[in-house]
Amino acid sequence: MKKGVLATGIVVALIFASSLSAKTADVTLSTKSYKEVVKINSAGEKEFVLEAAKKVIPGDYVVYKNSIINHTNTSVNNMVLNNAIPKHTEYVADSAKCQKDCDILFSVDGGKKFDKPEKLMVKVGDKARLALPKEYTNVRWVLTSALEANSVTDVSFKTRLQ
């Protein structure tokens, strides 16, 4: 079995609409990765918990959590966050989450085009078919409501190391 070490250089981009003022420089992004592990709780039941992802091996699940922090005294609109799904991992179906109201879109071409899963197509030979989650290359969150002044919101997704 091939061992792997988590690459912390995940590509993340936080995009603002061009109409925003210079105050958006006071919006920051914090990205952390966690390894999902199974623990036995005091009742003897299995429980999934997240631990800092220092070392992962093939088959491990890794959760990426992005915290978007608005340090300003005004709300910020039209925020978009893009994450590349790290190489040697597969996106886990239905794992992308958003703490606020948002649209979650995916790409299968390295982030050139994004769409909802039910509309995301790939070409296989001469035919097109619906993309499988393991074929996703990028995930995008489009916040549909403002990030309030001096607040934080989180978005996340899970992968499995190949």
Fold type of domain 12-161: Immunoglobulin-like (2.60.40)
Tokens 């489009």, residue?
142
Residue boundaries of the structural domains of the chain: 12-161
Contact 147, 153 (CB under 8 A): yes
- The CA-CA-CA angle for residues 152, 160, 153, to 5°, reads 5
Alpha-carbon distance values, 66 to 56, 108, 147 (Å) = 19, 21, 14
Write out pLDDT tens, residues 41-90.
999 999 999 999 989 999 999 999 999 999 999 999 989 999 999 999 99
pTM for this one?
Answer: 0.83
Tokens 């039910």, residue?
118
